[in-house]
């Protein structure tokens, strides 16, 4: 039984800007068509870099949601977040003029924040021989990770809890988890939650290259993101944003919400306390986060039908995440569907949890499991059903989305089908 008489929290709107689609519907269609977001880097000249490709957002037009003057005062990650938020709000049908705005909040995280802004301002400083007279007064507001949540709150006049989470690749899963806890304790009725990232830039690519974390498959970028495959050689950088509207079921019913994608049922948050970048052996921290998540959702391991895996396409993560799943689920691990949508979108770092949570609730809603593309050669250490290359039809009553970040952060989020 649940430990407390918490309100039911439901997902009523989704918005996404991703490398395989600039709306949530296009993103879903892309996953159902095994789309591939990888290609040569166009945002800067990457000729001298070890990795010269990424999963960039394509044909993005910020002017669909933001006026031109405002875009000049926002980093790209903030623009992505505002677009995703606007689409999530529209999808939900919410009219914020008819709700108590003091009980409506925003948590939108970013793992790194305005890295492009820092790049341009630092370049400006160098070009002026260290003279700071051309540093923009908007530099700091454009740089800081919390500014996206601030802009979204200002846009809609939302005066409830508002901040950003920062926990590397677990960032936006933590934003979802925090919002759930805030609503469970009764401090908000409705929240916009998610994450945004835009670090396909020289220091972003160069920094992860120096760690040997990125794939260097420059001769075939579209096959580079290959989670759980024996030939994987690192992750592929992605960019974009995902935002969900979540609210208490009572609030959704009272306002006549037309869509309920699913129930945000449980969370599990842990840390490895092992290494700044490598996962603990056997995915020990991930084991605990999944167990806590299942317990929090008042479920058993056998109730989980699908896992949207962290699945980064790195040697360490994929092996240890697979081991963790087998530890938690035992024989059931081999009958579940497991997939990594990073095979299609690349790794969006702080936005990964948000777009993958959206993928998870859409999988539940449509009874379809997105695939792990580029899966051609099984790895003996990764011996589960990773839904290779094409989606499959499968009823899903409960699913988990995993994200794990540098620093040892582990976040597992459970969604259930809405049966109202």
Pick the catalytic residue from 65, 151, 169, 201.
169
174 a catalytic residue = no
Cβ atoms of residues 5 and 76 within 8 Å: no
What's phi and psi for 6, nearest 5 deg? -75, 150
Does the active-site annotation cover 310?
Answer: yes
Selecting among 65, 347, 382, 409, the annotated active-site residue is 347
Q: Which of 65, 174, 251, 310 is catalytic?
A: 310
Q: Which of 68, 231, 72 is nearest to 137 (CA)?
A: 72
Say if CB 387 and CB 372 are below 8 A apart. Answer: yes
Residue 351 CA to residue 332 CA, distance in Å, equals 29
Are 248 and 263 spatial neighbours (Cβ–Cβ below 8 Å)?
Answer: no
> Alpha carbon of 72 to those of 62, 68, 142, 388: distances in Å?
11, 7, 10, 42
In sequence order, the 6+-apart residues with CB closer than 8 A to the CB of 191 are 104, 105, 106, 107, 160, 161, 179, 182, 183, 245, 246, 247
For Cα atoms 54, 413, 191, give the angle at the middle one, nearest 5 degrees.
Answer: 90
Tokens encoding 161: 């809890």
For strand 162-163 and strand 104-109, is the pairing parallel, antiparallel, or unpaired? parallel
**Residues recognised as catalytic:** 169, 310, 347
């Amino acid at each position: 039984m649940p430990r407390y008489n918490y309100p039911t929290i439901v997902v009523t709107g989704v918005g996404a800007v991703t490398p395989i689609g600039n709306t949530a519907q296009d993103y879903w269609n892309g996953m159902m068509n095994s789309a591939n977001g990888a290609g040569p880097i166009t945002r800067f000249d990457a000729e001298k870099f070890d990795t010269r490709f990424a999963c960039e957002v394509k044909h993005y037009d910020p002017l669909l949601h933001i006026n031109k003057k405002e875009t000049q005062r926002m980093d790209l990650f903030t623009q992505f977040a505002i677009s995703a938020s606007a689409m999530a709000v529209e999808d939900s049908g919410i009219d914020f003029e008819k709700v108590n705005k003091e009980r409506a909040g925003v948590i939108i995280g970013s793992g790194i924040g305005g890295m492009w802004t820092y790049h341009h301002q630092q370049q400006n400083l160098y070009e002026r021989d260290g003279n700071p007279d051309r540093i923009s007064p908007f530099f700091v507001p454009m740089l800081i990770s919390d500014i996206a949540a601030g802009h979204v709150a200002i846009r809609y006049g939302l005066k409830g809890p508002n901040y950003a989470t920062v926990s590397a690749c677990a960032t936006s899963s933590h934003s979802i988890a925090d919002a759930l806890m805030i609503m469970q304790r009764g401090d908000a009725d409705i929240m916009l939650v998610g994450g945004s990232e835009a670090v396909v830039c020289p220091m972003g690519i160069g920094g992860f290259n120096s760690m040997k974390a990125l794939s260097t498959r420059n001769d075939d970028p579209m096959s580079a993101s290959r989670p759980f495959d024996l030939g994987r050689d690192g992750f592929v950088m992605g960019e974009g944003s995902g935002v969900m509207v979540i609210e208490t079921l009572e609030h959704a019913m009272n306002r006549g919400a037309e869509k309920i994608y699913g129930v945000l049922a449980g969370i599990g948050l842990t840390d490895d306390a092992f290494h700044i970048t490598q996962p603990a052996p056997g995915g020990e921290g991930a084991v605990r986060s999944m167990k806590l998540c299942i317990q929090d959702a008042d479920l058993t391991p056998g109730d989980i039908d699908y896992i949207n895996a962290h699945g980064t396409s790195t040697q360490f993560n994929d092996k240890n995440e697979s081991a963790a799943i087998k530890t938690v689920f035992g024989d059931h691990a081999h009958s579940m569907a497991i997939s990594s949508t990073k095979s299609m979108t690349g790794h969006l770092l702080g936005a990964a949890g948000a777009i993958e949570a959206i993928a998870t609730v859409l999988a539940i809603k449509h009874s379809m499991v997105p695939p792990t593309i580029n899966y051609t050669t099984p790895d003996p250490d990764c011996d589960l059903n990773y839904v290779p290359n094409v989606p499959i039809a499968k009823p899903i009553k409960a699913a988990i989305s995993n994200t794990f970040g540098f620093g040892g952060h582990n976040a597992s989020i459970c969604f259930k089908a809405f049966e109202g």
